[in-house]
């Protein structure tokens, strides 16, 4: 087992990465506060891991809640069911919420924890690659609105993150590939050697080699922990973690969260960001082509869905949280391993990128 620390003063917490962690009851129990907890999961994960997790809990009052599965259920109505369960079962301010699942479960459970009785303890137990390397770390919680992704939420740190690599064995192939997009992101924005390491190990990644996956989750969590420790509330440097997300969120919103998966949309968005960076003269064309090849090798999409048009992109991007003074701020690449957040780019170059990707 590998142990990391997200250093945020009194809000600091550990991240555990390894195999068989769901069966280590002492690990989870060490981070449960009080004598009551609610385990929140979804209908896909529950049959696989809920019984195992609950069996190891040494908590006098343990309740469970199974939510529907999918990004399209990440909204206020579903969030209300978590509050309903907490209130119906009379959970106090001393309760602990445990998020067992992917990014949707983690985001909604975290938001419920941030707001139930003005804040209760919660633990992230991510079971998807995307959640293990990204969404479970850093304290971003929230739900979607029909007009924009994650527009309603709060920064609220978990008490611990427990990432059991074994759960990735049951992950459907498409979900696994979607998580890889966030892995590639870390190499692009802050770790060029890691990006090249990924290129050399694409076969092992596709085969879900345990040692390779453990190293991936550990390295990505360390990178995110470092960024979050420097900028917890995304006032500055943390925004680079959103490479490809402004384009990707636009795709998700236009498709009403029923088309590409989040990671798939981010993959397209990262390539679009790289293409724009090249058009602005910031990076060489070879990096764009290399990225396209890597994404294709890892089974990820590299073109916008047919439903997207330049105008639909621009309309959805205008609602992004990074918009400032009317300018859509984008995360772009200055070089492999170096990213910036800026609204200072030529609008005609953005239009070229949008037109090219909407023609594919």
The listed CATH number (2.30.30.790, 3.40.640.10, 1.10.3720.10, 3.40.50.1970) that belongs to domain 2-170 = 3.40.50.1970
Q: Does the annotation count 255 as an active-site position?
A: no
Weakest mean pLDDT among 94-108, 230-244, 263-277: 230-244
4-26 pLDDT, tens digit each: 999 999 999 999 999 999 999 99
Of the residues 31, 262, 279, 321, only one is catalytic, namely 262
Q: Is the pLDDT of residue 323 over 80?
A: no
Write down how long the chain is.
360
Q: How far apart are CA 254 and CA 231, in angstroms?
A: 30
Residue 235 pLDDT: 86
Mean pLDDT value of segment 87-100: 98
Of the residues 245, 279, 321, 329, only one is catalytic, namely 245
Q: Does the annotation count 201 as an active-site position?
A: no
Q: Are 310 and 354 a contacting pair, CB within 8 Å?
A: yes
Binned at pLDDT 50, 70 and 90, residue 360 comes out as: low
Q: How far apart are CA 70 and CA 104, in angstroms?
A: 7
Q: Does the annotation count 218 as an active-site position?
A: no
Of the residues 42, 121, 150, 242, only one is catalytic, namely 242
Q: How far apart are CA 249 and CA 241, in angstroms?
A: 14
CA dihedral 277, 283, 288, 291 (to 10 degrees): -100
Q: Does the annotation count 140 as an active-site position?
A: yes
Q: How far apart are CA 297 and CA 285, in angstroms?
A: 19
Q: How far apart are CA 161 and CA 136, in angstroms?
A: 7
Neighbours of 150 (CB within 10 A): 18
Q: Does the annotation count 355 as an active-site position?
A: no
pLDDT > 90 fraction of the chain, expressed in percent and rounded: 92
Which residues on neighbouring strands pair with residue 123, listed in sequence order? 98, 160
Q: For 173-359, which CATH superfamily applies?
A: Dehydroquinate synthase-like - alpha domain (1.20.1090.10)
292-311 pLDDT, tens digit each: 999 999 999 999 999 999 99
Residue 57 pLDDT: 96
Q: Does the annotation count 238 as an active-site position?
A: yes
Ramachandran region, residue 155 (left: φ > 0; alpha: ψ -120 to 50; beta: rest): beta
Binned at pLDDT 50, 70 and 90, residue 247 comes out as: very high
Residue 147 pLDDT: 82
Q: Does the annotation count 286 as an active-site position?
A: no
Q: Does the annotation count 121 as an active-site position?
A: no
Q: Does the annotation count 284 as an active-site position?
A: no
Binned at pLDDT 50, 70 and 90, residue 320 comes out as: confident
Of the residues 31, 74, 91, 140, only one is catalytic, namely 140
168-191 pLDDT, tens digit each: 999 999 999 999 999 999 999 999
- For residue 120 the two structure tokens come to 């209760």
Of the residues 91, 249, 321, 322, only one is catalytic, namely 249
Q: Is the pLDDT of residue 322 over 80?
A: no
Q: Are 94 and 33 a contacting pair, CB within 8 Å?
A: yes
Sign of the four-CA dihedral 73, 78, 82, 85 = negative
Residue 327 pLDDT: 80
**What DSSP line would sit under 21-54, residue for residue?**
GGG-HHHHHTT--SSEEEEEEETTTIIIIIHHHH
pLDDT > 70 fraction of the chain, expressed in percent and rounded: 99
The residue ranges of every structural domain in the chain are 2-170, 173-359
Of the residues 177, 185, 238, 322, only one is catalytic, namely 238
Q: Does the annotation count 322 as an active-site position?
A: no
Mean pLDDT value of segment 48-72: 96
Neighbours of 193 (CB within 10 A): 10
- For residue 334 the two structure tokens come to 């200055």
Q: How far apart are CA 291 and CA 47, in angstroms?
A: 37
70-80 pLDDT, tens digit each: 999 999 999 99
Strands 36-42 and 13-18: unpaired
Residue 319 pLDDT: 84
Q: Is the pLDDT of residue 221 over 90?
A: yes
Of the residues 234, 252, 279, 329, only one is catalytic, namely 234
* Position with higher pLDDT, 274 vs 147: 274
Q: Is the pLDDT of residue 326 over 80?
A: no
Of the residues 182, 279, 322, 329, only one is catalytic, namely 182
Q: Is the pLDDT of residue 325 over 70?
A: no
Q: How far apart are CA 159 and CA 32, in angstroms?
A: 8
| Average pLDDT of the chain to the nearest whole number | 96
Q: Is the pLDDT of residue 154 over 80?
A: yes
Name the burial class of residue 71, with classes exposed (0-12), middle (13-18) and buried (19+) by CB atoms within 10 angstroms of its CB: buried
Helix ranges (DSSP H) in the chain: 25-29, 51-56, 76-88, 103-115, 129-130, 173-190, 192-200, 202-206, 210-230, 245-254, 262-279, 285-297, 310-317, 347-359
Q: Are 163 and 28 a contacting pair, CB within 8 Å?
A: no
Of the residues 91, 224, 321, 329, only one is catalytic, namely 224
């Amino acid at each position: 087992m590998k142990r990391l620390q997200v250093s945020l003063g009194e809000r600091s917490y550990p991240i555990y990465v390894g195999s068989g962690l769901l069966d280590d009851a002492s690990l989870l129990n060490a981070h449960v506060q009080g004598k009551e907890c609610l385990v929140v999961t979804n209908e896909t994960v529950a049959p696989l891991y809920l019984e195992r997790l609950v069996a190891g809990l040494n908590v006098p009052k343990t309740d469970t809640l199974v939510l529907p599965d999918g990004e399209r259920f990440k909204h206020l109505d579903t969030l209300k069911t978590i509050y309903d369960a907490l209130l119906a079962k009379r959970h106090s301010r001393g309760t602990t919420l445990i998020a067992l699942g992917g990014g949707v479960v983690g985001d909604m459970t975290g938001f419920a924890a941030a707001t139930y009785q003005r804040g209760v303890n919660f633990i992230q137990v991510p079971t998807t690659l995307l959640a293990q390397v990204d969404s479970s770390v850093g304290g971003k919680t929230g739900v979607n609105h029909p007009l924009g992704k994650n527009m309603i939420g709060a920064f609220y740190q978990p008490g611990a993150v427990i990432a059991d690599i074994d759960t990735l064995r049951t992950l459907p192939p498409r979900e696994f590939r979607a998580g890889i997009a966030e892995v590639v992101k870390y190499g692009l924005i802050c770790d060029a050697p890691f990006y090249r390491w990924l290129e050399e190990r694409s076969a092992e990644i596709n085969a879900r080699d345990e040692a390779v996956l453990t190293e991936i989750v550990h390295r990505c969590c360390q990178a995110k922990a470092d960024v979050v420790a420097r900028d917890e509330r995304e006032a500055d440097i943390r925004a680079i973690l959103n490479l490809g997300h402004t384009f990707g969120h636009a795709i998700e919103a236009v498709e009403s969260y029923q088309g590409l998966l989040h990671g798939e949309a981010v993959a397209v968005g990262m390539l679009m960001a790289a293409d724009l960076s090249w058009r602005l003269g910031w990076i060489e064309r070879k990096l764009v082509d290399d990225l396209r090849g890597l994404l294709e090798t890892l089974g990820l999409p590299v073109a916008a869905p047919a439903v997207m048009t330049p105008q639909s992109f621009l309309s959805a991007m205008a609602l992004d949280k990074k918009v400032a003074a009317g300018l859509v701020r984008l995360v772009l690449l200055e070089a492999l391993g170096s990213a910036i957040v800026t609204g200072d780019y030529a609008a005609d170059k953005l239009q070229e990128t949008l037109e090219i990707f909407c023609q594919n």
